[in-house]
């Protein structure tokens, strides 16, 4: 039995990020975005299923991050500094 999390039940599908588009985080390019709804070896949805890597300084420094389905870095704070922002 799959256990659903608040993310997939509360965030409308049309508000989910699209891993095929380009995003930034705090003004820095994000690469390798993908969505993995479940924890490793688990049938429970995770709160932060969006995963990707932020290029901090050229390709020399990378930072792995996780976000909610709609690209939020935090569910407890209004600070959106590290949220995903679509590049248009």
User: What are the DSSP calls for 17-84, one per residue?
Assistant: --TTS-EEETTEEEEEEEE--B-TT-SBB-S--EEEEEEEETTTEEEEEEE-TTS-S-SS----TTSE
Residue 51 included in any domain: yes
Residue 82 included in any domain: yes
Residue 52 included in any domain: yes
Residue 1 included in any domain: no
Domain extent, residue 52, equals 6-86
Residue 72 included in any domain: yes
Residue 49 included in any domain: yes
- pLDDT for the residue 16: 94
Question: Model-level pTM?
Answer: 0.85
How many C-beta atoms surround the C-beta of residue 76 within 10 A?
5
43 has pLDDT over 90: no
Residue 44 included in any domain: yes
Domains in the chain, number: 1
């Amino acid at each position: 039995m799959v256990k659903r999390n608040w993310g997939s039940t509360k965030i409308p599908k049309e508000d989910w990020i699209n891993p095929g588009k380009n995003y930034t985080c705090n003004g820095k390019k994000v690469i390798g975005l993908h969505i993995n709804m479940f924890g490793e070896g688990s049938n429970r949805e995770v709160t932060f299923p969006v995963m990707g890597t932020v290029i901090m300084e050229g390709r020399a420094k990378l930072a792995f991050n996780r976000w909610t389905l709609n690209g939020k870095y935090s569910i407890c704070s209004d600070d959106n500094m590290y949220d995903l922002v679509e590049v248009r």
